[in-house]
Chain A
Amino acid sequence: MAPFDLVSLLGVTGSYFIYLAIGFAFGFILESSGFGDSRQLAAQFYFRELRVVKVMFTAIVVAMILIFWSTALGLLDYDQIWVSPTYLWPGIAGGLIMGIGFIIGGYCPGTSLVSAATLKLDGIFFLLGNITGMVIFGETAGLINTFWNSGYFGTFTLPELLHLETGIVVVLVTCLALGMFAGFEWIRGLIYGRAK
């Protein structure tokens, strides 16, 4: 049953090629979706282009439904997949800092890789900034250690938070995404008129 122990199946080097292939497809999709262009990404925050929200939440919903079905059919062992543990406060603070970095810098780490790979100079400068910021964090992590480990809930999922069946939450999240698509389109219409 999935997921598989790639290292025992393919060896360490073999497993790296799987990740290289996954990364290749990831980068290809990001670039094809316009995510190597900072103007497309930043325009989300002015409601001029809605690609960020559309791509991101379509992806989340599609993956979520496939995970739910394959778990329900007994093909996937949900307990074996990686669910990032919740550290609520550093997650929210880090997210806010990233949102600010996003609107100033125009990319996120993954999209800047694609932008740099297609020789966009703003993407390359962003990536250099990324590395700088990560080094600064690594050097100063000791200073904020208490905060960095605060709000710890372990592996904590929306169905547990809401005390609802997983299937119900899948439907709710899908509806939330559809509502967001409609809501963002509506706001764009208000600001820029119907014609794009």
Chain B
Amino acid sequence: MNGLAEKVKYWNPYLGGALLGLLLFLSIFVTSHGLGASGGVNRIAVAVEDLVVPEHVDKTPYIAKMAGGDRDPLAHWLVWEVAGIMLGGFVSGLLRGRVKVQTYHGPQISPHSRWAYAFVGGTLMGYGARMARGCTSGQGLSGGAVMSVGSWAFMFAIFAGGYGLAWFVRRLWQPEA
């Protein structure tokens, strides 16, 4: 029994992809920017830091650019896009009865160890996204559609990293062999 067999009604991926492509185009057409997520999350992280240790933020060059002195890291379009993503995801989930407290995990691991792996993976992802100057949305989708060379190299690197490690961590996701 694989964990995906339960009846979930998701859109056909080609339909979802086509709509996402249309949205990405409209975003670029109207605003000149594609879609983004990690940049907004980063600004929220910096805002929290600025609240706790403002003097330290002023002295750290990379974050001072966003929050040094009187600068408000939240006064940026990406922060609003992140708020929209959460709202849109919530409404979509609500309409389909998918808003409920639960943990998605592979059949061989417990929810508690899944939380630990999610946190560790998320930390790597957050670090990598800043190093790459964008995430799957900002670099991958948006840079991919405008044919940026760096974005295409980045995308293949993500898939290389994921596929390269997948076999070694198959216990996290795959049913028992």
Contacts and interface: CB of A to CB of B under 8 A. Distances in A.
Contacts of B138: 84
A2 interface: yes
A64 B48 CA distance: 36
A193 interface: no
A17 B87 CA distance: 13
A2 to B, nearest CB: 5
B21 A58 contact: yes
A21 interface: yes
Contacts of B147: 64, 157-159, 166, 169, 173
Given A16-B80, A134-B42, A117 B104 contact: no
A90 B154 CA distance: 9
Given A64-B147, A93-B131, A16 B121 contact: no
A45 to B, nearest CB: 4
Interface string B58-78: 001111000000000001011
B118 A38 contact: yes
A138 B126 CA distance: 10
A91 B41 contact: no
Q: Which of B32, B133, B150 has the most CB of A within 10 A?
A: B150
Contact of A98 (B83, B93, B129): B129
28 contacts: A19-B77, A20-B81, A25-B23, A25-B84, A26-B84, A27-B85, A27-B90, A32-B10, A32-B16, A58-B14, A58-B17, A60-B21, A63-B145, A83-B143, A84-B150, A88-B153, A95-B160, A100-B124, A102-B121, A103-B172, A109-B41, A109-B129, A110-B38, A117-B89, A117-B93, A122-B114, A134-B129, A169-B147
